[in-house]
Amino acid sequence: MASIKNIVIVAISQVGVIVFGVLGAGICRKYGVLVPLPTVILYNCGVMGLSIPLTWSIGAVALQLRENVSDDIKTLMFGLGVLVLVALAIFCLYADISPWLNIMWNLNGDDAGP
């Protein structure tokens, strides 16, 4: 399961999630909606996020090419990459969707603002 081809596919997916997250943060910033901290982080530091898939893919390919490493460790490293992909997707979805679904909830039950 943890072949170099699969590692490349997961790394490209991670890059794609980061790119779409940065683009979504830019759209939120352009239209001036109230943005949470994850959107600001994506907008200002999104390019640095590309170091995440780069670091993971270098480590995973280096482990894959070593012959004295067990298959369990190689599979664990691949699973870590999939976990990072899911975490990036959740982070980017929250950062890009939450500004558009910002609903002001209050405890007293009326719709009047403060």
Which residue ranges make up each domain of the chain? 4-97
* pTM above threshold 0.85: no
Q: What is the pLDDT of residues 26-53, one digit of tens each?
A: 898 888 777 788 888 888 888 899 999 9
Q: Which range scores top for mean pLDDT: 13-17, 23-27, 47-51?
A: 13-17
Note the pLDDT of residue 108. Answer: 54
CA distance 96 to 58: 28
Average pLDDT (76-101) is 91
pLDDT of residue 56 exceeding 50, the answer is yes
Predicted confidence band of residue 3 (pLDDT cuts 50, 70, 90): confident
Length of the chain: 114
CA distance 77 to 4: 12
**Which residue pairs from 100-103 have beta carbons closer than 8 angstroms and sit at least 24 positions apart in sequence?**
100/28, 100/33, 102/33, 102/34
Which among 83, 95, 98 is positioned nearest to 14, based on CA atoms? 83
